[in-house]
């Protein structure tokens, strides 16, 4: 056996040993789970039988209401000649195709919550029975209730747009103003911002705005929403969070005058927000500096908003202040806990610490010592960046940052004293590239495969200073955000094609180096411990897609033992009341929605998105008719423009057919505007039919009529 083979055999043996060591733990966890009292929900017979029976009884009425109103036929007589269309398909087929398409387009463009969302969860506040319009109309608020109203962040198709209102007798407090990144279903849309007319109407009632931490899903919408409140409403957050908000606001053409208040959560200060409400920030750990949970004290008891959090046994940051949380839980008792749901589906607990990630980054530097090291991670992972700086300094390497957000965040972290930087390690990008390869470390954005981020530009050669080469080692210190996997694979492919070494988190078996990332969110067992320790009277999952909220609620009932009627799975816009007797109920809704923005921060109308989806599927077809004012006849051959539909040069027969139709159609006078309108309608319908007959598609047909 040669040296290489020997090393490989050793590596495999080591891996097998690691696996064997882990096996008993996995087995043990499985056995413990088996012993758990997964009550009636999971017992024989499935879900609660009474509930199922009730739902069945409620069904016929719902069915009746859901019956579609009879389609009214638009039997408008089209003016102009009735031209016989040379088609083989019935018009009904085309109409059916158009209806299905329109349904698809609507479903794709409005995945966010509008109106009354379907929510028949057994935790929906109505024992699993769907909320109705009548119930909302007749809901009477209890004047002594504290109202908790999620404006965004609950049960959407991604995690983001987090924003919660807490209200008591006309005094309102806002917590977080986040954005949600749009997926590929929303062409040309970059992100979404919570939209609530109700919030606009109640602007004068807002007494304070609080931020848990500086991730974009919590502060991203500041530039759109904060300016409305001005300097009279204090804005509270930790030094790093306020620094990040200020940075974002400084990018506005008109920087608003705001009343920022920096909070040090370790002081346990009670901040009076209004006559009846006060707040206390609690230091917790996550994947960003200055992270907090927030306690709002109300006349009906304290409410805990967990914010985003994870447990860490050996943190780089100051350990989380769980003692303070437990103290409040034991002395005052939480009337309600809102707990984030992101990783509720991940079993177990965090297996390693941020230090392990740091050690493994060092290992990469040792194993690939002769080349450049390019490390890609989230720009808000300030502690991870600190690890890179430390490991690099120990090995005499220099570090440069690439990417707008990366440089921004490091600056804010330095100012907020959230990062320790060793001497003489950081260099500018343009200077570091002049050093020998074995001294170069670059920390950049692009770990999610974003097309415009630094990493991709380094692959394509579009980056000003660096082109990836075969001696480079690229490290992905991140996990894919669900949905981003194909883009990341694209980036990895590009890097491998250049001959570079790629090291990814969660692929330890390929290089024997890892873990290289630590999720910022607690796992299932962490949630069990957290909620058990804080024993809230009422429980409301937030910060998650619907399945996460539901699984979080199931955890609270089945494992922690909170009674079902004290758990609510709410949607954006639901009004949850915490009553003086410390029970909770859902009581009414406020209208909520989304504002869509493109990557130039310009608002995109939903109708535009729908058009884009339609065009992307079926294309666009424009016919331009030039007709004589006098005779109404065609003066010249109709111009035809096809975009994203058929390639005209290959479609002579079809185009000929349409031109023939148009000539026959325009053999009479069109004098009045009404005539022109009717002709347009008729041409649109007929041309669509001809195109559908030939291609099976119904592009957007736009007739243009010029009278000369």
Q: Least CB distance from residue 501 to Zn ion, whole Å?
A: 31
Q: Least CB distance from residue 291 to Zn ion, whole Å?
A: 7
**Beta-bridge mates of residue 171:** 168
Interface segment toward Zn ion; rule CB under 5 A; list 304-312, 329-337, 343-351, 553-561: 304-312
**The 3-state secondary structure of 556-606, one letter per residue:** HHHHHCCCHHHECCCCCCEEEEECCCCCEEEEEECCCEEEEECCCCCEECH
215 binds Zn ion (CB under 5 A): yes
Q: Least CB distance from residue 460 to Zn ion, whole Å?
A: 31
Choice between 308 and 321, CB closer to Zn ion: 308
Choice between 156 and 308, CB closer to Zn ion: 308
Choice between 217 and 526, CB closer to Zn ion: 217
What is the C-alpha separation between 20 and 22, in angstroms, rounded? 5
- Classify residue 574 as exposed, middle or buried by CB count within 10 Å of its CB (0-12, 13-18, 19+): buried
Q: Least CB distance from residue 308 to Zn ion, whole Å?
A: 4
Q: Least CB distance from residue 38 to Zn ion, whole Å?
A: 29
Instruction: Please count the CA atoms within 13 angstroms of the CA of 347 that sit on its side-chain side.
Output: 8
Binding to Zn ion (CB under 5 A) within 594-613 occurs at none
Choice between 287 and 376, CB closer to Zn ion: 287
Report which of 586, 583, 588 is spatially closest to residue 538, judged by C-alpha positions. 583
Interface segment toward Zn ion; rule CB under 5 A; list 213-221, 351-359, 580-588, 592-600: 213-221
176 binds Zn ion (CB under 5 A): no
217 binds Zn ion (CB under 5 A): yes
Q: Least CB distance from residue 549 to Zn ion, whole Å?
A: 14
Contact string 81-110 vs Zn ion (x = CB under 5 A) = ------------------------------
Q: Least CB distance from residue 222 to Zn ion, whole Å?
A: 14
Choice between 124 and 408, CB closer to Zn ion: 408
Report which of 377, 411, 375 is spatially closest to residue 392, judged by C-alpha positions. 375
Interface segment toward Zn ion; rule CB under 5 A; list 134-142, 307-315, 436-444, 650-658: 307-315
What is the C-alpha separation between 502 and 492, in angstroms, rounded? 7
| Residue corresponding to tokens 């930087």 | 421
Q: Least CB distance from residue 212 to Zn ion, whole Å?
A: 8
Interface segment toward Zn ion; rule CB under 5 A; list 42-50, 216-224, 504-512, 641-649: 216-224
What is the C-alpha separation between 683 and 686, in angstroms, rounded? 5
Three-class SS of residue 475? Answer: strand
DSSP assignment of 426-461 equals B--HHHHTTS-GGGEEEEES-TT--TTSHHHHHHHT
Neighbour-count burial for 157-169, b at 16+ CB within 10 Å, e otherwise: bbbbbbbbbbbbe
- Strand order, beta sheet including 603-604: 180-181, 191-195, 593-597, 603-604
545 binds Zn ion (CB under 5 A): no
Choice between 213 and 657, CB closer to Zn ion: 213
Interface segment toward Zn ion; rule CB under 5 A; list 89-97, 300-308, 483-491, 496-504: 300-308
Report which of 598, 610, 482, 572 is spatially closest to residue 107, judged by C-alpha positions. 610
571 binds Zn ion (CB under 5 A): no
Choice between 124 and 380, CB closer to Zn ion: 380
Interface segment toward Zn ion; rule CB under 5 A; list 207-215, 364-372, 452-460, 552-560: 207-215
Region for 185 from its dihedrals, namely left if φ exceeds 0, alpha if ψ lies in -120 to 50, beta otherwise: alpha
Q: Least CB distance from residue 332 to Zn ion, whole Å?
A: 26
Proportion of the chain in helix, strand, coil states, percent, rounded to 5: 40, 20, 40
Choice between 161 and 614, CB closer to Zn ion: 161
Binds Zn ion (CB under 5 A): choice among 195, 308, 557, 618: 308
**Residues that contact Zn ion, how many (by CB under 5 A):** 3
Q: Least CB distance from residue 216 to Zn ion, whole Å?
A: 9
Report which of 574, 576, 567, 580 is spatially closest to residue 538, judged by C-alpha positions. 567
| Binding footprint of Zn ion on the chain (CB under 5 A) | 215, 217, 308
């Amino acid at each position: 056996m040669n040296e290489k083979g020997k090393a490989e055999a050793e590596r495999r043996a080591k891996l097998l040993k690691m696996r064997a060591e882990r096996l008993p733990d996995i087995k043990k966890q499985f056995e413990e789970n088996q012993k758990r009292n997964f009550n009636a929900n999971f017992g024989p017979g499935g879900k609660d039988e009474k509930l199922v029976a009730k739902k069945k009884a409620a069904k016929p009425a719902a069915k009746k209401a859901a019956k579609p109103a009879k389609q009214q036929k638009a039997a408008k007589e089209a003016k102009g000649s009735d031209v016989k269309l040379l088609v083989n398909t019935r018009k009904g087929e085309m109409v059916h195709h158009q209806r299905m398409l329109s349904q698809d387009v609507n479903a794709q463009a409005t995945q966010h919550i509008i109106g009354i969302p379907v929510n028949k969860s057994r935790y929906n506040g109505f024992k699993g029975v769907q909320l109705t319009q009548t119930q909302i109309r007749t809901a009477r608020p209890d004047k002594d209730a504290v109202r908790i109203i999620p404006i965004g962040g609950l049960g959407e198709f991604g995690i983001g747009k987090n924003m919660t209102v807490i209200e008591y007798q006309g005094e309102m407090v806002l917590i977080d103003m986040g954005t949600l990144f749009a997926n590929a279903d929303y062409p040309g849309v970059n992100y979404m911002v919570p939209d609530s007319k109700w919030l606009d109407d109640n602007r004068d009632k807002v007494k304070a705005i609080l931020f848990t931490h500086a991730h974009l899903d919590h502060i991203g919408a500041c530039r759109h929403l904060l300016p409305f409140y001005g300097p009279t409403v204090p804005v509270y957050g930790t030094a790093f969070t306020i620094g990040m908000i200020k940075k974002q606001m400084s990018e506005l053409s008109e920087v608003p005058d705001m009343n920022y208040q920096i909070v040090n959560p370790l002081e346990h200060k009670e901040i009076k927000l209004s006559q009846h409400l006060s707040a206390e920030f609690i230091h917790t750990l996550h994947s960003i500096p200055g992270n907090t949970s927030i306690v709002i004290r109300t006349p009906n008891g304290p409410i805990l908003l967990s914010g985003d959090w994870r447990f860490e046994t050996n943190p780089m940051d100051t350990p989380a202040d769980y003692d303070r949380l437990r103290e409040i839980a034991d002395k005052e008792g939480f009337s309600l806990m809102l707990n984030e749901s992101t990783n509720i589906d991940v079993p177990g607990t965090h297996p390693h610490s941020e230090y392990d990630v740091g050690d493994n980054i060092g290992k990469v530097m040792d194993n690939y010592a002769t080349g450049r090291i390019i490390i890609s991670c989230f720009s808000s992972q300030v502690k991870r960046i600190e690890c890179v700086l430390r490991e690099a300094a120990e090995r005499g390497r220099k570090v440069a940052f690439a990417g707008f957000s990366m440089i921004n965040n490091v600056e804010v972290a330095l100012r907020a004293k959230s990062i320790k930087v060793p001497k003489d390690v950081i260099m500018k990008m343009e200077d570091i590239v002049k050093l020998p390869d074995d001294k170069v470390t670059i920390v950049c954005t692009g770990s999610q495969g974003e097309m415009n981020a630094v990493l991709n530009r380094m692959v394509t050669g579009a980056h000003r200073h660096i082109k990836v080469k075969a001696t480079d080692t690229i490290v992905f210190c991140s996990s894919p955000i669900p949905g981003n996997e194909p883009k990341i694979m694209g980036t990895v492919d590009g890097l491998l094609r250049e001959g570079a070494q790629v090291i990814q988190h969660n692929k330890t078996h390929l290089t024997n180096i890892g873990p290289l990332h630590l999720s910022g969110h607690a796992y299932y067992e962490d949630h069990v411990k957290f909620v058990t320790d804080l024993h809230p009277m009422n429980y409301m999952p937030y910060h998650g897609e619907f399945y996460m909220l539901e699984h979080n609620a199931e955890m609270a009932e089945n494992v922690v033992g909170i009674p079902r009627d004290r758990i609510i799975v709410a949607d954006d816009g639901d009004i949850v009341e915490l009553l003086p007797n410390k029970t909770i109920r859902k009581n009414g809704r406020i209208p909520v929605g989304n504002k869509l923005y493109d990557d130039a921060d310009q608002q995109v109308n939903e109708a535009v998105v729908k058009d884009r989806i339609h065009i992307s599927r079926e294309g666009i077809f424009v016919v331009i008719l030039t007709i004589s004012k006098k005779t109404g006849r065609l003066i010249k051959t109709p111009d035809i423009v096809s975009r994203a539909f058929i390639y005209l040069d290959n479609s002579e027969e079809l185009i000929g057919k349409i031109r023939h139709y148009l000539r026959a159609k325009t053999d009479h006078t069109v004098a009045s505007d009404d005539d022109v309108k009717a002709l347009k309608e008729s041409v649109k319908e007929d041309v669509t039919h001809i195109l559908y007959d030939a291609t099976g598609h119904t592009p957007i047909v736009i007739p243009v009529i010029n009278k000369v």
